[in-house]
Chain A
Amino acid sequence: EDKVVQSPLSLVVHEGDTVTLNCSYEVTNFRSLLWYKQEKKAPTFLFMLTSSGIEKKSGRLSSILDKKELFSILNITATQTGDSAIYLCAGGSNYKLTFGKGTLLTVNP
């Protein structure tokens, strides 16, 4: 059975801190690793990673995939209160995404 494990499950930081969120996966027919941000209901897409070692960056957020170790990290630098959300990691196979339980990030002013 496919499995995605995220850590930590929750994290509280102060504005300006840098955070690293972790995601490990065991997905049959693995194709891609996706990160989503969920603030209220609908998860919004952040990154999709398919190749090892190539960092994807969007503003203060960046992510990288290690296909040998079956691992991905999401980094957020200079955190802001608006970054408070649940960050979901998902392993993609032929058509299916298997989600982890998410990391609840709280950024305090």
Chain B
Amino acid sequence: GAGVSQSPSNKVTEKGKDVELRCDPISGHTALYWYRQRLGQGLEFLIYFQGNSAPDKSGLPSDRFSAERTGESVSTLTIQRTQQEDSAVYLCASSFPLAGANNEQFFGPGTRLTVL
């Protein structure tokens, strides 16, 4: 597609429910990233995919968080048993494979998650 897309744009859920957030990267971008942005904060790295594998999951805050990617394309971030502290905007970004110092990442519009 023309840009990175994410769905849903907004999600309101009750504490304890599971949620799935979806990211469609730019076609041809093999690198995909998930970030979390709490209100008034910067972007917090969650996980990095190269192709369908995730060499860096170091930012996932707990085992309630998981992500997968299929077909070197769509990625899904799953949060199980949501807690109120999970409320944030979840941003996805994609980029071409690394080439020297080229790290430009293109961001999607994000999913605003509210856990009641």
- Check B42–A100 contact: CB distance below 8 A: yes
Give me the interface of B with A, judged by CB distance under 8 Å: 4, 31, 33, 35, 40-45, 48, 50, 55-56, 89, 91, 98, 100-110, 112
- Contact of A101 with B89 in the complex, beta carbons under 8 Å: no
A11 to B37, CA, bound (A): 20
Interface string of A90-109 (1 = CB under 8 A from B): 10111111111110000000
The closest CB in chain A to the CB of B56 belongs to A96
Could you tell me if A95 and B31 are in contact, using CB atoms closer than 8 angstroms? yes
In the complex, which range does the number of interface residues on chain A fall in? 20 to 34
Chain A residues at the B interface, C-beta cutoff of 8 Å = 4, 6, 31-32, 34, 36, 40-45, 48, 50, 88, 90, 92-102
Name the residue in B43, B91, B106, B110 with the highest tally of chain A Cβ atoms < 10 Å from its Cβ: B43
